[in-house]
Amino acid sequence: MKNRGMTLFIAVTVMGILLFISFAVVNIALKSTIFASSGRDSQFAFYAADAGLECAIYWDSRFDPSKFATSTSGVSVTCAGTTITDGQLNISGTTTSARIGGGGDTNPTSIFSFIMNQTGKVEDRVPYCAVVTVTKNANGTTHIYSRGYNTCLDSSRRIERGIEVDY
């Protein structure tokens, strides 16, 4: 009679241990999922930065003078299906409006942003975007800095990756 309820105690103890182990496994799985999605988002941000860099190099090298020359103001460029003009601001959270070319020797920097859109249709936009800065130096060299984002909205999960090139 002294062992009454011992089976119930052992069953409750085993269930508590199994419940604790299952919570630990679920916690590890959730953290792994967040870590994996962070890596994926970082990769998307890098690809957006690379697309911005390639677009700037294309418009800088295709025309003579370059679309970003200090003497050619008021031009537009098209990147990833988006046509960008002066004054246009496409990315949430950025504070500088777009300026392409012009500016003279006192302001040789062009800046523009765009959302990835391969077909030109609004419904085909993806949430990745880039902000590109092109500086035409007086010695004839060009500096391009492209920042890519995994989302175009201000978000606590927004990831930025940047690429710079001088030539």
Tens digits of per-residue pLDDT, 58-97? 988 887 778 788 777 767 888 877 777 777 665 655 555 6
Total number of domains constituting the chain = 1
* Domain of 149, in residue numbers: 11-166
> Is position 2 within any domain?
no
Its pTM stands at 0.71
Token representation of residue 30: 């959730």
> Is position 50 within any domain?
yes
> Is position 1 within any domain?
no
> Is position 5 within any domain?
no
> Is position 159 within any domain?
yes
Q: Which long-range contacts (CB under 8 A, 24 or more apart) does 53-56 make?
A: 53/132, 53/144, 53/146, 53/163, 53/165, 55/79, 55/80, 55/114, 55/130, 55/132, 56/132, 56/134, 56/144, 56/146
> Is position 4 within any domain?
no
CB-CB contact of 89 with 112 (8 Å): no
Identify which of 17-21, 71-75, 129-133, 136-140 has the greatest average pLDDT. Answer: 17-21
- Position 138 confidence tier, pLDDT thresholds 50, 70, 90: confident
Q: Taking residues 31-44, what's their average pLDDT?
A: 84
